[in-house]
Amino acid sequence: MANGAQAMLRTLLNAGVEVCFTNPGTSEMHFVAALDTAPEMRAVLTLFEGVATGAADGYARMAGKPASTLLHLGCGLGNGLANLHNARKGKVPVVNIVGDHATYHTKYDAQLQSDIETAARNVSSWVRTSQSTQALCKDVVEAVTAAKGPPGQVATLILPADVSWGEGAEALPASPIAQPPLADDVVIERIAGVLKSRGKTAILLGGRALREPGLLAAARIAAQCGVKLYAEVFPTRFERGAGLPHAERIAYLAEMASVQLAGLENLILVDAKAPVSFFAYPGKKSYLVPEGCTVHELNSPAQDAVGSLQRLCQAIGAAQTAPVLQEAQRPGRPRGKLTAEKVCKAVGHLLPDNAIVVDEAQTSGTMLPMFTAGAPRHDVLALTGGAIGQGLPAAVGAAVACPDRPVLALVGDGSSMYTIQSLWTMAREKLNVVSVIFNNRSYGILNIELERVGAERAGPKAKSQLDLNGPGLDFVQLAQGMGVPATRAHTAEEFTAALERAFATPGPHLIEAVVPSVFSGLKLRVLPYLLRSLENLPQPVARALKRKVAP
């Protein structure tokens, strides 16, 4: 027999939840005290709830199982919502434990009293306030089961303080996870028929299909049927690099995505949604599937995407077909004044084997896919839900999940400031994370969005809302103040040397890359970047795009 918190921790461990990213308060003190009764549970303190939730997201993407968070009532959960939103969009399992007032205290409407369930529902498919110490462990088992899915989801268990401190709880074993079913045979047969037809067809891979087994099955199909492979625009976890099949990511800019998809007659979705524009723009399309193109969904989110893809591969007789694999190739060492492009080039030049790349570089990362396509095999974690402030926390989580792998976080200066406290956790936990902050002193992307939404005649007051100059952010001092060794690079030579040193030295490092904004200057200067960022773009398509964007 144990108190609620002790039994809860044991039940979490029984279900394979071994890490808790915490930011506790008084209502969570019994949970905190119980941590010493559960030595196998790694408790990682974060200094802001958005770090805890983003770290839980990054952890689960790499560990393939959920971590838990420990958050302080509705306000703590609220601070963590943006990164829980990213996890939800990426179908990433997370188990939130949110402390609450004791059940008999709520009627007094004390200062921190709030409607936690309402806050939780926005991001969680499963929400419950545990009603008694006796029922708590059953609730924990259900929460973890719901989080694991498939699909992975956010589950939020609200833990009243008296349920936590009450005696008489008993830990429970995990409930078995059911094997997800394959897609229906009729669906597989129908899509096999589409692949055998002569129509112009592409396969759009997302979610779990972007890991090696899914990529290999898709590449066999592609080689057999001559279809093109695309990856969703912001993948949860994308395994890529030399020796793996290549899939071209759908572009963020709808104008470019439309060019990629132009002329398609069939689009086969594997663990992915049909592409839509990130935002609506006056006079532009939201739904990016071209007219006349039929969309075929291989699997539902609850079905086994990879198994279904492998079955499809067999159905078209491609199981023995050789997939086309990416050749090893790296760009040379960049030279001269530092630019975002040269940072990406240096990353391609130096990326260590088996790295985890967290990409929240925004505009500065436009050239990253091209320069790293033939780098040693690596994983890319992207901003699945578009809520910025995810990169540094996700790097924390990925490094906790994979202590033997190098983690590289590429983050815009604006994005980094949402959750800059992540650096402190990296230092405290001695995580092998190299954080590169692109200091272009602006919310660069919003400058181009200002034009895209048609608000071109913006005045100085409007433009100042997108400008981070004055006071200039000093990321070296910020990092050093949180215990992370840091350096600033103005030239490609300085940056490359710093990156080399950082990868070679264990523990966290930060490099502030001082770069001009990719989108500063005229629209026409932007175009080459946009066009070259589309890997393997066929020349006629590139010409068509050029005409369209800059007639």
Ligand X SMILES: Cc1ncc(C[n+]2csc(CCOP(=O)(O)OP(=O)(O)O)c2C)c(N)n1
- Nearest to ligand X of 490, 543 (CB atom): 490
With CB under 6 A as the contact rule, which of the stretches 194-202, 358-366, 494-502, 530-538 interacts with ligand X?
Answer: 358-366
Judged by CB under 6 A, the residue of 22, 303, 363, 421 near ligand X is: 363
Type of residue at 95: V
Which residues 65-94 are close enough to bind ligand X by CB under 6 A?
82
Q: Which pair of structure tokens corresponds to residue 434?
A: 């190299």
Give the dihedral of Cα atoms 394, 84, 360, 458; nearest 10 deg: -150
Cα→Cα distances 186→28, 189, 297, Å: 51, 5, 12
Query: What x-and-dash track marks residues 453-492 binding ligand X by CB under 6 A?
Result: ----------------------------------------
With CB under 6 A as the contact rule, which of the stretches 53-61, 179-187, 435-443, 455-463 interacts with ligand X?
Answer: 435-443
Judged by CB under 6 A, the residue of 46, 442, 496, 533 near ligand X is: 442
Which residues 510-549 are close enough to bind ligand X by CB under 6 A?
none
Judged by CB under 6 A, the residue of 46, 96, 310, 362 near ligand X is: 362
What is the closest distance, in whole angstroms, from the C-beta atom of residue 152 to ligand X in the complex?
A: 21
What is the closest distance, in whole angstroms, from the C-beta atom of residue 96 to ligand X in the complex?
A: 18
Judged by CB under 6 A, the residue of 325, 350, 446, 542 near ligand X is: 446
What is the closest distance, in whole angstroms, from the C-beta atom of residue 80 to ligand X in the complex?
A: 12
Task: Name which of 241, 183, 194 is nearest 221 in CA terms.
Answer: 194
User: From CA 50, how far away is CA 39, in angstroms rounded?
Assistant: 25
- Nearest to ligand X of 188, 450 (CB atom): 450
Which residues, including other chains, have CB under 8 Å from residue 528's CB and lie 6 or more apart?
none
Q: Residue 460: which H helix or E strand, with range? A: helix 460-464
- Nearest to ligand X of 331, 365 (CB atom): 365
Type of residue at 148: K
Give Cα 496 to chain centroid, integer Å: 26
Q: Hey, which bits of 138-261 come out as E strands?
A: 154-160, 167-169, 201-205, 228-231, 238-240, 248-249
Task: Name which of 83, 69, 58, 89 is nearest 23 in CA terms.
Answer: 69
What is the closest distance, in whole angstroms, from the C-beta atom of residue 445 to ligand X in the complex?
A: 3
**Does residue 303 belong to the site contacting ligand X (CB under 6 A)?**
no
Pairing between β-strand 154-160 and β-strand 167-169 as defined by DSSP bridges: unpaired
Which residues 365-424 are close enough to bind ligand X by CB under 6 A?
386-389, 412-415
Which residues 146-175 are close enough to bind ligand X by CB under 6 A?
none
**Does residue 443 belong to the site contacting ligand X (CB under 6 A)?**
yes
What is the closest distance, in whole angstroms, from the C-beta atom of residue 513 to ligand X in the complex?
A: 12
- Nearest to ligand X of 304, 413 (CB atom): 413
Residue nearest to ligand X (CB): 412
Q: What b/e string do you get for 182-209 counting C-beta neighbours within 10 Å, with b at 16 or more? A: bbeeebbeebbebbeeeeebbbbbbbbb
Cα→Cα distances 220→224, 230, 264, 323, Å: 6, 14, 20, 5
For ligand X (CB under 6 A), the number of binding residues is 18
User: From CA 544, how far away is CA 521, in angstroms rounded?
Assistant: 23
Which residues 245-284 are close enough to bind ligand X by CB under 6 A?
none
Judged by CB under 6 A, the residue of 76, 369, 444, 508 near ligand X is: 444
Contacts to ligand X by CB under 6 A: 82, 362-364, 386-389, 412-415, 440, 442-446
